């Protein structure tokens, strides 16, 4: 949540080029966290998967 919210802070304080680099980097980090950390946890422990996380998105990220 804090990583996602930091994008707005950077947008308000940095120039457009710096913001774009930061936003792309945060997107990459969040995607890697989902694929490599969260999805394997959700597979082992489905009870912890957030109810709002759609199954089709979860499956696509795992190439199911």
* Tens digit of each residue's pLDDT (9 = 90 or more) over 41-55: 999 999 999 887 765
The arithmetic mean of pLDDT across residues 14-23, rounded, is: 97
At 18, list the tokens.
């710096």
Report whether pLDDT(19) > 60. yes
What's the DSSP call for residue 64?
A: -
Identify the helix (H) or strand (E) that includes residue 60. Answer: helix 55-61
Domain boundaries, the chain: 2-61
Global pTM value: 0.69
């Amino acid at each position: 949540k804090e990583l996602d919210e930091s994008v707005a802070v950077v947008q308000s304080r940095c120039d457009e080029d710096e913001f774009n680099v930061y936003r792309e980097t945060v997107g990459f980090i969040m995607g890697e966290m989902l694929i490599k950390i969260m999805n394997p946890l959700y597979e082992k422990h489905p009870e912890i998967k957030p109810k709002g996380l759609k199954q089709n998105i979860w499956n696509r990220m795992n190439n199911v």
